[in-house]
């Protein structure tokens, strides 16, 4: 009976499925199959000339690899700084833009969203020139103030902080747009009631706006965490994991393991472990930030 009902539903909605089929086929071919293949080869010693089943050996090697632990530490450190900073900056900027006129809001929406559609590679290249020790704008500005310049990307003590600063100073356009949309959906009657009760502007923002934005904040926190753990373009363009291993992150380690060392099975194990780590962070965030809101 169940199978018959499924077949009837397919027959009834055949045109709907037909229009979805091309997109679904692309998803399966370029996402579903590679992901399944990555899981499969993570249990093998999968090289160019040799393939054999090794079970959990790749995961054991990963945990015993000091380089993996260094990359994990750098990745977590990057995510714990960049994600909260980007969410907070988006919230503050959206709160400053929202009271403006519609035309002013449109201008700032476009201005802050523009870097989002710009290639991350282009932004990283621009910042690489800003950090140049001899002709970079940052050192030129410091020399104007009488301070000495530094090799920001060439020293272990400053390389990761330089990448983090670039990520923080790049405007979080998506977050600003989403916060502005969420603020527009909050009923004005709530603010009017707070005004009658004598609440100040900051109190209304802190006690009303921020709590009612929790669903949007959760969404941005989860997406920001995933994006931070998958940081790659900035590292590839600016430091290539150096100096030493100061900016080595997990995705760059996976890239090197697969395409430089040709150890595809170990790279697959790294990928699965990265997926598990992101899932743990997402679970914690959903547990403590998830909330059901009712305005009335």
Per-residue model confidence as pLDDT tens digits over 175-199: 999 999 999 999 989 999 999 989 8
pLDDT (tens digit, 9 = 90+) per residue, 9-58?
777 878 888 888 899 899 999 999 988 998 898 898 876 667 788 888 98
Say if residues 208 and 191 touch (Cβ distance below 8 Å): yes
Residue 290 tokens read as 């998830």
| Distance of alpha carbon 39 from alpha carbon 274, whole angstroms | 12
| Distance of alpha carbon 180 from alpha carbon 219, whole angstroms | 14
Task: For tokens 């499925």, name the residue.
Answer: 17
Say if residues 248 and 66 touch (Cβ distance below 8 Å): no
Provide mean pLDDT across the span 93-102. 93
pLDDT band at 68 (very low <50, low <70, confident <90, very high): very high
What pLDDT is stored for residue 293 in this prediction?
56
Say if residues 268 and 38 touch (Cβ distance below 8 Å): yes
Of the candidates 117, 85, 94, 79, the residue with the CA atom closest to the CA atom of residue 227: 79
- Residue-wise over 39-71: b if at least 16 C-beta within 10 A, else e? eebbbbbbeeeeeeebeeebbebbeebeebebb
pLDDT band at 296 (very low <50, low <70, confident <90, very high): very low
Would you call 107 helix, strand, or coil by DSSP? Answer: helix
| Distance of alpha carbon 244 from alpha carbon 256, whole angstroms | 14
pLDDT at 243 over 60: yes
- Residue 187 DSSP class: -
CB-side neighbour CA atoms (13 Å) of 188: 3
Beta bridge partners, 46, equal 51
Say if residues 218 and 286 touch (Cβ distance below 8 Å): yes
| Distance of alpha carbon 120 from alpha carbon 237, whole angstroms | 10
Predicted model pTM: 0.88
Helix or strand (DSSP H, E) at 36: helix 33-41
Say if residues 59 and 283 touch (Cβ distance below 8 Å): no
Of the candidates 218, 243, 266, the residue with the CA atom closest to the CA atom of residue 131: 243
pLDDT at 294 over 70: no
Q: Pick the more confident residue, 224 or 5.
A: 224
Residue 130 tokens read as 């800003």
Would you call 46 helix, strand, or coil by DSSP? Answer: strand
Task: For tokens 């356009």, name the residue.
Answer: 173
pLDDT at 205 over 70: yes
State the average pLDDT for the chain: 89
Residue 122 tokens read as 């282009």
């Amino acid at each position: 009976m169940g199978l018959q009902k499924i077949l009837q539903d397919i027959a009834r909605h055949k045109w709907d499925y037909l229009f979805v089929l091309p997109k679904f086929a692309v998803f399966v071919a370029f996402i579903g199959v590679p992901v399944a293949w990555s899981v499969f080869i993570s249990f093998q010693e999968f090289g160019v000339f040799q393939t054999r089943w090794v079970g959990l050996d790749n995961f054991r090697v990963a945990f015993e690899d000091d380089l993996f632990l260094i990359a994990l530490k750098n990745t977590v450190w990057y995510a714990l700084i960049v994600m909260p900073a980007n969410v907070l900056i988006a919230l503050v900027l959206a709160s400053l833009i929202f009271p403006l006129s519609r035309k002013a809001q449109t201008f700032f929406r476009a201005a802050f969203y523009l870097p989002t559609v710009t290639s991350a590679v282009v932004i990283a290249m621009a910042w690489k020139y800003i950090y140049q020790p001899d002709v970079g704008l940052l050192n030129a500005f410091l020399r104007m103030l009488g301070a000495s310049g530094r090799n920001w990307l060439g020293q272990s003590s400053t390389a990761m902080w330089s990448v983090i600063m670039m990520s923080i100073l790049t405007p979080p356009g998506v977050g600003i747009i989403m916060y502005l949309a969420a603020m527009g959906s909050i009923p004005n009657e709530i603010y009017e009631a707070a005004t009658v009760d004598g609440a100040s502007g900051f109190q209304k923002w802190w006690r009303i706006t921020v709590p009612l934005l929790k669903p949007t904040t959760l969404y941005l926190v989860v997406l920001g965490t995933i994006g931070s753990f998958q940081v790659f373009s900035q590292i590839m363009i600016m430091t290539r994991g150096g100096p030493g291993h100061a900016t080595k992150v997990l995705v760059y380690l996976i890239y090197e393991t697969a395409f430089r060392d040709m150890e595809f099975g170990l790279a697959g194990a790294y990928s699965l472990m990265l997926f598990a780590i992101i899932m743990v962070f997402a679970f914690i965030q959903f547990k403590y930030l998830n909330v059901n809101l009712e305005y009335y």
